[in-house]
Amino acid sequence: MIRDIIFFILIFLFLSCSQKQLVTFNSEELTGIKIQSDRIILKVIDHDTAEPLIGANINFTNSDIEIAPTNINGLTFIPTGFIGNIKVSYMGYKSTSFEIKSNSLNNILVRMVKEEFIVTEYVFIRDKNDAKKDLSSGIIQIYENIYDSTQVIKENLAKKFGFKYNYPSESIMILNVDEYNQEVIKFLEKRNGSNWYERFKSELDSRINEKFKK
């Protein structure tokens, strides 16, 4: 009986510590951010790298309050005085839920943990000969994983520059597509002019910043 009690206590302590690692209230890391007095800072970052997560969704349980997704700095804001449950979700990460019980919060720091996927290793190689074959068939594509909150922005801008994105399923490990992509980029110089890919990247950054800025 005593061993069982000790076991459950250890489990409780472990879960409590894990929760503290994921959600921190009134974090010292965010004290330097200045905002209006009627708002609470909520920042969402990657648990391992501390990189801000852009476009994370914030949902209130049993409430009609709408909160904007996190901006380019991983920040969003919730009204002061809210008491209740919040769920934070982001593609490729485990959802994090927590409860606000206090009216005296200044900020909340959420560290999100990536989902664990079983990866089946598969050699995926596309070289310049594959690119030439596709281009001769009218297939103009660049291999890149764009499946995140900026996907629609990237797809729309790619259409403007005359190509589309492609990426195998998550169970495939890409080992070499650089040669393929460079051949496509070179081919599109006839359509978009020299250094077009740098201009594409610059415009893409601007659109993403505009979409997620406050």
Strands (E), 81-173: 84-89, 96-100, 107-112, 124-125, 141-143, 164-166
% the chain with pLDDT above 90:
45
User: Do 156 and 203 belong together in one domain?
Assistant: yes
Residue 202 has a pLDDT of: 95
User: Do 55 and 108 belong together in one domain?
Assistant: yes
Question: What's the one-letter identity of residue 79?
Answer: P
Kindly report, residue by residue over 2-35, the tens digit of the pLDDT. 555 555 555 544 444 444 468 888 888 887 777 7
If you average pLDDT over residues 133-156, what whole number do you get? Answer: 91
User: Do 84 and 56 belong together in one domain?
Assistant: yes
Residue 190 has a pLDDT of: 92
User: Do 87 and 131 belong together in one domain?
Assistant: no
Locate 165 and state its tokens. Answer: 């994105």
Q: Is residue 16 part of a domain?
A: no
| For residue 64, pLDDT beyond 90 | no
Q: Is residue 177 part of a domain?
A: yes
The lowest-confidence range among 81-95, 161-175, 198-212 is 161-175
The β-bridge partners of 174 are 124
User: Do 53 and 134 belong together in one domain?
Assistant: no
Residue finishing a domain among 112, 141, 163: 112
Q: Is residue 45 part of a domain?
A: yes
CB neighbourhood size of 51 (10 A): 9
Q: Is the dihedral of CA 41, 47, 53, 55 positive or negative?
A: negative
Where residue 97 sits, what CATH number does that domain have? Answer: 2.60.40.10
Q: Is the dihedral of CA 155, 158, 159, 160 positive or negative?
A: positive
Residue 173's pLDDT band (cuts 50, 70, 90): low
User: Do 106 and 128 belong together in one domain?
Assistant: no
- Which of the two residues, 8 and 115, has the higher pLDDT score? 115
User: Do 108 and 136 belong together in one domain?
Assistant: no
User: Do 29 and 104 belong together in one domain?
Assistant: yes
Has this prediction a pTM greater than 0.75?
no
Centroid of chain to Cα 82? 26
Q: How many domains does the chain have?
A: 2
Q: Is residue 91 part of a domain?
A: yes
Question: What's the one-letter identity of residue 110?
Answer: V
Separation CA 93–CA 86 (nearest Å): 16
| For residue 63, pLDDT beyond 50 | yes
Range of the domain at 59: 21-112
Separation CA 113–CA 21 (nearest Å): 10
User: Do 130 and 195 belong together in one domain?
Assistant: yes
If you average pLDDT over residues 34-51, what whole number do you get? Answer: 87
The β-bridge partners of 166 are 143
The lowest-confidence range among 18-22, 59-63, 89-93, 158-162 is 18-22
Q: Is residue 7 part of a domain?
A: no
